[in-house]
Amino acid sequence: MKWEEVRDAFPEQWVLIEVVQAHTNEHSERILEDMDPLKKFSNSPEAMKICQEIHRYNLGREVYVLHTSRKNPNIMQKKEISIR
């Protein structure tokens, strides 16, 4: 689904989404092109708990919790710094 479709299907909701297709632009912004909504929530703490559980046991899955009031689902990636 496109973000506009998710927003229409789940107005004013917290939604756990899994990314199907995305890319990162030159500003380290993750551009979500296609996604699957997995579950809707009435509050963010509950949604974040489920999202963290998925990340803990399925490191390869790209999942996010977003509120459908957002016009744009894009996410800024954090740059990791390592010390050797």
- The answer to whether the beta carbons of residues 49 and 1 sit under 8 Å apart is no
Which of 80, 1, 81 is CA-nearest to residue 35?
1
The whole-number pLDDT of residue 60 equals 87
Q: Where are the domains of the chain?
A: 3-71
The whole-number pLDDT of residue 82 equals 61
The whole-number pLDDT of residue 78 equals 72
Average pLDDT over residues 38-49: 92
Is it the case that residue 80 has pLDDT exceeding 80? no
Average pLDDT over the chain, rounded to an integer = 91
Average pLDDT over residues 4-21: 96
Which of 26, 35, 25, 42 is CA-nearest to residue 61?
35
Helix or strand or coil: residue 66?
strand
Q: Which residues contact 17 (CB under 8 A, 6 or more apart)?
A: 6, 32, 35, 36, 37, 38, 63, 64, 65, 66, 73
Is it the case that residue 70 has pLDDT exceeding 70? yes
Average pLDDT over residues 38-56: 92
